[in-house]
Amino acid sequence: MPKKIISIVVALLLTSSTMVMAGSTGSEELKDSNSTDRTTECFEGVSRAIFVFNHTLDRAIFEPVAKGYRKLPVPIRTGTSNVIDNLRSLLTFSNNVLQGDFKEAGATAGRFVINSTIGVFGIWDPAAAAFNLEKSDKEDFGQTLGAWGTDTGCYFVLPILGPTTVRDSVGMFADIFIDPVYQITHNTEFNAGIGNNNYSEHNYYYYRGTSGVDFRAKNIDSFDSVERNSIDLYASVKSLYLQNRLRKINNSKSTVETQDDSDWEEIDSN
């Protein structure tokens, strides 16, 4: 029962890491056969209703939690964010390999090794500071499917998990199984000394939950900016989500901006 409760809480927290509501100061310049204008809606009426539910839940729970997290001392928040990014880089590495981008895979692996050792589990980033291995964009299996030529499929909104497409929803669930952090925590159980042989599994949910809170806290101002400046918030979020995904798949620069643009990931969920 406790494990199920933790899983539900983590799923809720992931709302903040799957909603793409970035502030935009320009226009998206990417052109592609998978243009955002060509992405159809699966069931817009239902998606709009789910969007309202998710937005209400965010205002009631996730935003207050994120604001509380923001009150922590900056060094604590920075160190926590760095550790999360370091662990998340393992999923990026897996997708770098699947995409055949071995140069980026090597750089990602190098950053992980350096930051996990010299950087003390990733609290600091000596890979960038001392070895000029700058953090690259995060990769997920939805991006990998896009790189393989898979079409987006239609757009829709999931309860709790937020906006997605057919392709990205498949990628979201696939990421769980190709994520080394998930595999390690779920296949390396140990006895914690209190009769709990699944403690290591809980660590995965703590990691994902903390990741969601950290993401939401970084982008409070971005979320608020979009809400203030949008005539149709649902349409704005849809447009920004699709633009952001296209940029990531093409590994292109975009005019879509947030407080920390590298954090518009996962949309995930991961």
Tens-digit pLDDT profile for residues 194-241: 445 445 678 888 898 899 999 999 999 988 999 999 999 999 999 999
pLDDT digits (tens, 9 = 90+) for 59-77: 999 999 999 999 999 999 9
User: Which is it for the CA torsion 179, 180, 182, 187, positive or negative?
Assistant: positive
Distance CA(58)–CA(81), nearest Å, equals: 21
DSSP secondary structure string for all residues of 25-92? SS------TT-GGGPPBS-HHHHHHHHHHHHHHIIIIIHHHHHHHHTS-HHHHHHHHHHHHHHHHHHH
pLDDT digits (tens, 9 = 90+) for 137-171: 899 999 999 999 999 999 999 998 899 999 999 99
Can you give the pTM of this predicted structure? 0.78
Going from N- to C-terminal start, the domains of the chain cover 2-17+29-71+141-248
pLDDT digits (tens, 9 = 90+) for 100-140: 999 999 999 999 999 999 999 999 999 999 998 888 889 99
Encoded amino acid at 226, one letter: V
